[in-house]
A and B are shown apart, each in its own frame.
Chain A
Amino acid sequence: MADASNASQVAAKWRKKRGSLIMALHEIQDVKGYVDWSDAVELAQGMGVSLARIYEVLTFYNFFKLKAPGKAVISVCTGTACYLKGNDKVLEKFKSELGIGEGESTADGMFHLQCVRCVGCCGLAPVCVVNGKTYGRMTPDNVPAILDEWRETFKEN
Chain B
Amino acid sequence: MVNLKIDNIAVEVEDGASILDAARVANINIPTLCKHPDVDPSAGCGICIVKVGGRIMRSCCTPAAEGMEVITNDAELKEIRKTVLELILSNHPNSCLTCGRNGECELQDMAAQMGVRSEEIRKILSAEPIDDSSKAIVLEPAKCIVCGRCVDICQNTQNVWALSYLHRGMATKITGANDTKLGDSPCIKCGQCAAHCPTGAITDYDTTAQVWDMLKNQDNVTVVQIAPAVRVALGEEFGFDFGSNLTGKIYAALRKLGFAKVFDTNFGADLTIIEEATEFVRRFKEKDNLPMFTSCCPAWVDYLEKYYPEMLPHLSSCKSPHEMVGAIIKTYYAQKLGVEAAKIKVVSVMPCTAKKWEIARDETMSSSGYQDVDAVVTTRELAKMIKQQGIDFASLKDEEADNPLGEYSGAATIFGVSGGVMTAALRTAFFYITGQELGNLCFGPIVGLDAVKVAEVDIMGTKVRIAVVNGVGNAEAVLQEIKKAQENGEEIPYHFVEVMACPGGCIAGGGQPRVMGARFAKPWGINDEIRALRSQGLNCEDEQAKNRLSHHNASIKKLYDEFLGAAGGEKSHHLLHTKYQKRPLYK
Binding site for B on A (CB under 8 A): 37, 40-41, 50-56, 59-60, 66
Contacts and interface: CB of A to CB of B under 8 A. Distances in A.
B168 A55 contact: no
B240 interface: no
Given A50-B161, A66-B178, A55 B586 contact: no
Contacts of B586: 41, 51
Interface string B173-211: 000111000000010000000000000000000000000
Contact of A56 (B162, B165, B186, B585): B165
B161 A52 contact: yes
Contacts of A54: 177
Given A51-B586, A52-B155, A60 B168 contact: yes
Nearest to A60: B168
A59 B165 CA distance: 9
Nearest to A51: B177
B585 A51 contact: yes
11 contacts: A37-B178, A41-B586, A50-B177, A52-B161, A52-B186, A53-B155, A55-B166, A56-B166, A59-B166, A59-B167, A60-B168
A55 B176 CA distance: 9
Interface residues of B, number: 15
B29 interface: no
A59 B162 CA distance: 16
- The secondary structure that dominates the B interface is loop
B166 A51 contact: no
- The secondary structure that dominates the A interface is helix
B163 interface: yes
A82 B18 CA distance: 48
B167 A51 contact: no
Contacts of A40: 177-178
Contacts of B585: 51
Interface of B: 155, 161-168, 176-178, 186, 585-586
Contacts of B166: 55-56, 59
A47 B66 CA distance: 43
Contacts of A66: 178
B167 A52 contact: no
A51 B165 contact: no
Given A50-B177, A53-B161, A60-B165, 17 more contacts: A37-B178, A40-B177, A50-B155, A50-B161, A51-B161, A51-B177, A51-B178, A51-B586, A52-B155, A52-B162, A52-B177, A53-B164, A54-B177, A55-B164, A55-B177, A59-B166, A60-B167
A143 B149 CA distance: 46
B163 A52 contact: yes
A37 B176 CA distance: 13
Contacts of A37: 178
A55 B178 contact: yes
B537 to A, nearest CB: 36
A63 to B, nearest CB: 12
Instruction: In the A-B complex, list the 9 residue pairs whose CB atoms are closest, starting with the nearest.
Output: A52-B164, A50-B161, A55-B177, A51-B177, A52-B161, A59-B166, A52-B177, A59-B167, A56-B164
Nearest to B165: A56
B168 A59 contact: yes
B163 to A, nearest CB: 7
Looking at A41, A52, A53, which has the most chain B CB atoms within 10 Å of its CB? A52
A50 to B, nearest CB: 4
Contacts of B177: 40, 50-52, 54-55
Contacts of A59: 166-168
A66 to B, nearest CB: 7
Nearest to B585: A51
Contacts of B162: 52
Nearest to B586: A51
A39 to B, nearest CB: 11
Contacts of B168: 59-60
A51 B186 CA distance: 10
Nearest to B154: A52
B475 to A, nearest CB: 16
A26 to B, nearest CB: 18
A60 B161 CA distance: 17
Looking at A40, A51, A53, which has the most chain B CB atoms within 10 Å of its CB? A51
Contacts of A51: 161, 177-178, 585-586
Contacts of A56: 164-166
Contacts of B186: 52
B160 to A, nearest CB: 9
Contacts of B176: 52
A37 B184 CA distance: 14
A53 B186 CA distance: 13
Contacts of B167: 59-60
A17 to B, nearest CB: 21
A123 B499 CA distance: 68
B209 to A, nearest CB: 33
Contacts of B164: 52-53, 55-56
A56 B177 CA distance: 7
B379 to A, nearest CB: 29
A66 B167 CA distance: 12
B151 to A, nearest CB: 9
A37 B585 CA distance: 13
A126 B442 CA distance: 79
A52 B585 CA distance: 11
A51 B585 CA distance: 10
Nearest to B159: A50
